Structure 1
Amino acid sequence: MSGDNRYRAFISYSHADQAWARRLHRALETYRVPTRLVGQATRKGDVPRRLTPIFRDRDDLSASGDLSASVRDALARSGTLIVICSPAAADSRWVNEEIRVFRELNPGGDVLAAILSGEPDAISAGRPAGRECFPPNMRAPDGLVAEPVAADFRRSGDGWRMALLKLVAGLIDVRLDQLIQRDLQRRQRRVTVITGAAIALSLTMSTLTFFAISARSEAERRKAEAEDLIEFMLSDLRAKLEPVGRLDVLDAVGEKVIAYYDERDPRQMSSDDLGRRARAFHLLGEIDSDEGDLESAYRHFNTAYEATSRILAVDPSSPARIYEHAQSAFWAGYFAWRRSDLDTAEARFIEYRDLSRQLLADEPENLEWQAEAAYAHSNLGTVYIGHERLRDAQREFRQALELFQSIADESPDSEAALIDLADAWGWMAYVAEPLDGRGAAMEALRQQIRIYDEQLGGGADNWTIRRDTMTAEYALARLHIAEGRGASRADIEAALQILIPASHEADALVAHDPANLQWRLVVIRQRLWLSDAQLLAGDLDAAREAYLDASAYMTHPSWISAEGDVFDDTRLHASLMEARILAGLGDVDAASLALQHLLSELEQIDDWRNRLSKGTYLYAAVSNTLAELLDQQGEDREAARVREAMVNRLTPVIARVPADTRAEYDRARAVLQRERISAE
């Protein structure tokens, strides 16, 4: 470590990973470098005996009133940045900002990735975005993780010990194989001792528990010893057992912890007792979640929630207790949401929101509390969308938007804050379209695009921002032509002015990452809306060219095997454009046949709740296009039947559909009304 760096490394992590960060911090600072390597000259200076000091904000920050200044100072004086990578970290604006600032202050410094959970490059691989573990700023302009060292702490990866050695090798700049042999010798000596000690500790806990219950004269002393032992078992002992592969002992420890607390009356526990209980079950929930046992994780997080609720009841004004229970409420709500239990998710997210607002009321200028409250409002908004309560969702998204705007105003150079703000405008556009009409939705999208273009520079060095910018732009173009054949010439031209230049960016996006399924989806949709706009403009050749581009992008193996409503709807949209182009070329019979097949497939949808955004539009547009061709063929009665069926199917959900669906629906009703008047 160079002389001007006080810290050998800075650990950046999400608050959700705090317990794990503490464990890693302890493991690194207590690691003893093999004697034969100490003093060896490397790029980072002479190899030290110990890897101290390592900065972790909860332990190392002074009582400075300026948290940002303290963090920047620590980053400036750290030789290496270790990023604990998880889905929570990938979504954390603070982690992302710390990566950016470290690179700014230490251009030659190393950034090491410590993968805790989730999946690296999940988005690029077309898997759910919620599984992505790399924060955006971990990536270089080409979209790949910029640093070569990634220590994978997951069981499916390197495992704890090998990943730890990878980090140590990166910190002191030595080859990994120089550490492995020495470490194996240490582990062989320790495994017997640790296993025996673990069994002895487990037996000791049983004995202490017995005395805590039956020997009243020593109850308090025994209880304190048992609680200390529990905390040791769930923290330090876990750190020792995982590397030597004795998780069976850890499972037994977990069972004894649960049995111990089942014997206790929560009403007789102190706040400290309940706090230890909450931490114990929260840790067990994290272990279960990492291992993929979501049901068990859900139960343990709910137990932690119950514990922190009792603590808060005893000390309702303590910010630490409020924050602790807010986090419990979030995790309980999050796992309820993952289990599609929207009622429980709503109740917990409301609690999370209200507690976050309570923290914010006490410290209105605290940016961390502002962010907590903003995320809480946004999370609740997504639950309300699932409940189809769009006005409630709009209210929550508006609150989130105001808070994100405040954070961005205070941190004008923060890319993460601006991305949060742009995303908030996107949610506002989503709910405004069915509630307030396309004009309100278009204004929200313009605000989102303005942030991307003017404040984030169009994401010139960030492919994710470029993708999000294109998504917002084609959404705006879609609204310009939402009236379909009723769209004005000005609206059609405005859509083309957006979509034609976007084609070049779309091609660059796919060329940059051909296997990224979500990016390919954005590009295909852009081309399909361009085809639609060109048809409305009367340029059949250009419409056909855009459709053929979309079709070519759909031949990629990743797209062919993609499953889900969003991909099905996009394939149906492509088929609709093909039928419209066939009709424009004069092949009415082929177009009618294609539309009949499409309509038959769309009529099989029993529940529109998950298909309101795109499915309803396709159903309405296919129905109207087919009805118009039937009118041309003189089959007026069949055309009327198709329109009536569509109107009847969509009437129950029409208040929640997007603008283009509403326009098609209104067009069909207007034709039916004219026919009824004519018949009368």
Structure 2
Amino acid sequence: MTQASATPVFRYRAFISYSHRDKAWATWLHKSLEAYVVPRRLVGQTTAAGITPARLAPVFRDRDELASATDLGRKVNEALALSACLLVICSPRSATSHWVDQEVLAFKRLGRSERIFCLIVDGEPGASDLPGREAEECFAPALRHPLAEDGALADARTEPIAADVRPGKDGKTDAKLKLIAGMLDVGFDALKRRELQRRIRRMAALATVALAVMTLTTVLAIAAVIARNAAVAASHAAERRQKQAEDLVDFMLGDLNDKLAQVSRLDIMEAVDDHAMSYFQSMPTADVTDETLAQRIKALERIGSVRLDQGHLSAAMTSYQAALKLAAPLADAAPANVRRQLACAEVLAFIGMTHWREGQLDAAQRSFADAQTLLQRARRLTPDEVQLKFQLATIDNNIGHVLEARGQLDAALAQYQGMLPLMKQLVAAQPRHVEWAATLGSAYNNLGRLALLRGELAAAVAHYAADDAIEAALAARDPKDVSQRDNMLTVRAILGRTRALAGDLETGMEDLQQAVDIATQLKAVDPSNTDFQEHAALYATQLGRLRRLSGDLPTASALAARALTTFAALTKQDPANAGWRREAAEARLELAAQSRAAGLTDASRTQASAALHVLDPLLAQQPDDRATLLATTSARLSLAAVEDAPAAKSRRENALRAMLTVKSGRGDPRLLALQVDALLALGRATEAQPLIRQLWSSGYRDAALLQLLQRERIDYPVNVAFQQELLAASGGNPRP
């Protein structure tokens, strides 16, 4: 008898066992398996599991299949007996489910223990053996123990075969393939390789579709232009063809771009956007309907946003300016049309954002101010329009950022304070509105940043914690929203960094580690997203600093080196991005500090010099930008630490003079700490004493300052009153 003929014939490919509280995972697995098409080259092969089928359907789910059954026990046992394998959704919920345990036990008693496969979605395997963590166990008792000869569970332990979708583990795609590999009794690597080959073929087909759509669009556009120049009798046909062309362009920029993004075909996305831009630039703006122009404006804005996300600032600006060329006349022609004012203001805001990323503060402020003027004019007509209020709040945010970069902190504070009540009002009216809730978090974040600049550390932590709570709740509401996870990790990093400044080094490192981990996961999901790359590198640099200050130099070195590699690639891609250049210099500064800590003076000097070479021109361009000022001053003092005495003295004195020219935010404890560093190195301890007292009063306990004061034998006890204030500001809980 052949192996194939000896293999039993089953009605179901699999039986899914799960707790009703894990229904979402069971639904996903059920649909994924039944929709899966087995790679053609594997179909028909004979394995220990039988002849490999073309499809995995049907898959049995007891809650779906038994909805009308009168004898659940009998029906379940029948379904188990007719199922080729058992798939168990494993979590702390299923581990305590009587039905899941009984289904596993019944399947084992059929003699098919080796055909049980697990999908871990939550909890921890083996936690039942860890005192205090028993509730985290994800495997039901029948999974953890083999069967004894009498059909009961033995005392021995067994390790079930499991795929794992928990964060940082297999991920959904690999977990699904691992289960399928087990069901078919084929190697996971072979199956994944076949899947990759199929994906490549699918992307090639999608590329062909994209090129075909672009060709068809071009033909339709040409036909439309020719038809419009034809006789009056053909004008209606020409308009219809043009509408078809623009509908196809809308598809290209919408659904097709989304599909291309899912398969990471950035090259085709760019080609689609470029062809769409060429099409719009070739089309007339006269003698077309306002509806058509509005459609073009949104399409051009979408192109600009894709390019902005990719870090292609010049190309993004071209798209936005093309949109403005259409939006501005529409807004001017109908000042009472609120919808047109909103559309034009939105384009102006995107132009301002692009200028901001280029480091052109004057141009950014002009664009934001123009947008604000349009919105304020529209508000006089419809003061209760919610979308109008939201755009006004975001413009307050953007103008505040520009003013803050100029060192005009009081003016920036006024903008941020105007933003907060608007967003509170909107969120109170619609608590489930995700974008509004996220913007309310940004309002708290802005106030936290200015509190830090004023030396109000407890208030800064409280504001950042409020933002962190909002972002974490939004991320939990929709775990698939990668943009929201990016927002959450950014705030978590800022909060951790601020907690470290207030003396909580361990919690600060935990928060930054979480930010780095999430950013790294997001970067793996979409390697082309420059925001994910930037955040993974930036927070690795900041975490590296805290690791170094805590004494973990090897980990710190690995983090900073990885960050610098990422920033080198980003700045090569877009040398005009001032933020990336500054952050790359900060990574070099951290490497310089690590080299100095390891006694590598020459290496430290090289890194600090390279950082200063980048930062000096940036500071000359934006002398009031606080991040650039702090980085440049740190670079000067870092270089002074490895120079000969005369050069070091001159450099420290120059750094002090630069810090004393700060227009506002002089109470920023980070700035005060750098002044103390320079003064003590120059032997001017008496001048440093008032600044040290000011830092102590603010509660500042950054590890670098503590180490410096310890070396200088300067007493710096814990400020108990500040710690109480910090606890009160955090609502009695330092980790919201």
Name the TM-score, length of structure 2 as normaliser: 0.49
What residue in structure 1 maps to residue 655 of structure 2?
646
Q: Kindly tell me: are residues 671 and 399 of structure 1, through their superposed partners in 2, closer, same or farther at Cα, counting changes over 3 Å?
A: same
Find 1:199's aligned residue among 189, 205, 230: 230
C-alpha separation in 2, matches of 1:676 and 1:337 = 44
| 8 Å Cα contact 2:633/2:655 also seen in 1 | yes
Q: Kindly tell me: are residues 668 and 550 of structure 1, through their superposed partners in 2, closer, same or farther at Cα, counting changes over 3 Å?
A: closer
What residue in structure 1 maps to residue 490 of structure 2?
471
1:158-208 C-alpha deviation (Å, 9 max, x unpaired):
6489699xxxxxxxxxxxxxxxxxxx9xx8xx9989945652239x9xxxx
What residue in structure 2 maps to residue 666 of structure 1?
675
| 8 Å Cα contact 2:505/2:546 also seen in 1 | yes
C-alpha separation in 2, matches of 1:599 and 1:558 = 19
Tell me by how many angstroms 1:467 deviates. 2.5
Q: Kindly tell me: are residues 234 and 421 of structure 1, through their superposed partners in 2, closer, same or farther at Cα, counting changes over 3 Å?
A: farther
Matched, 1:350 2:380: no
Find 1:305's aligned residue among 331, 346, 350: 331
| 8 Å Cα contact 2:400/2:416 also seen in 1 | yes
C-alpha separation in 2, matches of 1:463 and 1:256 = 41
Tell me by how many angstroms 1:446 deviates. 1.0
Unaligned runs of 5+ in 1: 1-139, 143-147, 165-183, 205-228, 259-275, 313-320, 483-487
SS of structure 1 residue aligned to 2:416: helix
Tell me by how many angstroms 1:239 deviates. 0.9
What residue in structure 1 maps to residue 271 of structure 2?
none
Tell me by how many angstroms 1:395 deviates. 2.5
Q: Kindly tell me: are residues 640 and 325 of structure 1, through their superposed partners in 2, closer, same or farther at Cα, counting changes over 3 Å?
A: same
Matched, 1:545 2:576: no
C-alpha separation in 2, matches of 1:434 and 1:440 = 11
Find 1:492's aligned residue among 489, 505, 518: 505
Output the amino acid matched with 1:239.
K
What residue in structure 2 maps to residue 377 of structure 1?
396
Find 1:520's aligned residue among 508, 516, 533: 533
What residue in structure 2 maps to residue 51 of structure 1?
none
C-alpha separation in 1, matches of 2:615 and 2:680 = 22
SS of structure 2 residue aligned to 1:614: helix
What residue in structure 1 maps to residue 447 of structure 2?
428
Q: Kindly tell me: are residues 463 and 443 of structure 1, through their superposed partners in 2, closer, same or farther at Cα, counting changes over 3 Å?
A: same
SS of structure 1 residue aligned to 2:625: coil
> Alignment RMSD, CA only?
5.0
Q: Kindly tell me: are residues 256 and 373 of structure 1, through their superposed partners in 2, closer, same or farther at Cα, counting changes over 3 Å?
A: closer
Q: Mean Cα displacement is larger for which, 442-451 or 392-401? A: 392-401
Tell me by how many angstroms 1:644 deviates. 1.4
C-alpha separation in 2, matches of 1:141 and 1:360 = 47
SS of structure 2 residue aligned to 1:526: helix
What residue in structure 2 maps to residue 586 of structure 1?
599
Tell me by how many angstroms 1:450 deviates. 1.1
C-alpha separation in 1, matches of 2:425 and 2:457 = 27
Output the amino acid matched with 1:544.
P
Please show how residues 255-270 of structure 1 align to structure 2 within 5 Å. 257=287
| 8 Å Cα contact 1:643/1:668 also seen in 2 | no
Q: Kindly tell me: are residues 279 and 579 of structure 1, through their superposed partners in 2, closer, same or farther at Cα, counting changes over 3 Å?
A: same
Tell me by how many angstroms 1:243 deviates. 8.3
Matched, 1:412 2:431: yes
Larger radius of gyration: 2
| 8 Å Cα contact 1:233/1:253 also seen in 2 | no
Output the amino acid matched with 1:640.
K
| 8 Å Cα contact 1:281/1:303 also seen in 2 | no
Tell me by how many angstroms 1:641 deviates. 0.8
Please show how residues 441-452 of structure 1 align to structure 2 within 5 Å. 441-452=460-471
Tell me by how many angstroms 1:451 deviates. 1.2
SS of structure 2 residue aligned to 1:655: coil
Taking every aligned residue pair, what percent have the same amino acid on both sides? 13
Tell me by how many angstroms 1:396 deviates. 2.7
C-alpha separation in 2, matches of 1:191 and 1:677 = 79
Q: Kindly tell me: are residues 437 and 294 of structure 1, through their superposed partners in 2, closer, same or farther at Cα, counting changes over 3 Å?
A: same
| 8 Å Cα contact 1:352/1:376 also seen in 2 | no
Output the amino acid matched with 1:581.
Q
Matched, 1:568 2:581: yes
Q: Kindly tell me: are residues 645 and 605 of structure 1, through their superposed partners in 2, closer, same or farther at Cα, counting changes over 3 Å?
A: farther
Tell me by how many angstroms 1:244 deviates. 11
Matched, 1:238 2:242: yes
Output the amino acid matched with 1:358.
R
SS of structure 1 residue aligned to 2:230: helix
Find 2:414's aligned residue among 390, 395, 417: 395
Unaligned runs of 5+ in 2: 1-170, 174-201, 250-275, 305-317, 688-736
Output the amino acid matched with 2:612.
L
C-alpha separation in 1, matches of 2:321 and 2:525 = 39
1:203-241 C-alpha deviation (Å, 9 max, x unpaired):
x9xxxxxxxxxxxxxxxxxxxxxxxx9xx8997573156
Tell me by how many angstroms 1:334 deviates. 4.9
| 8 Å Cα contact 2:461/2:498 also seen in 1 | yes
C-alpha separation in 1, matches of 2:497 and 2:413 = 21
| 8 Å Cα contact 1:520/1:553 also seen in 2 | no
C-alpha separation in 2, matches of 1:438 and 1:502 = 21
C-alpha separation in 2, matches of 1:507 and 1:244 = 36
Output the amino acid matched with 1:325.
Q
1:558-584 C-alpha deviation (Å, 9 max, x unpaired):
558444333333332222222222222
What residue in structure 1 maps to residue 284 of structure 2?
254
C-alpha separation in 2, matches of 1:468 and 1:637 = 46
1:53-96 C-alpha deviation (Å, 9 max, x unpaired):
xxxxxxxxxxxxxxxxxxxxxxxxxxxxxxxxxxxxxxxxxxxx
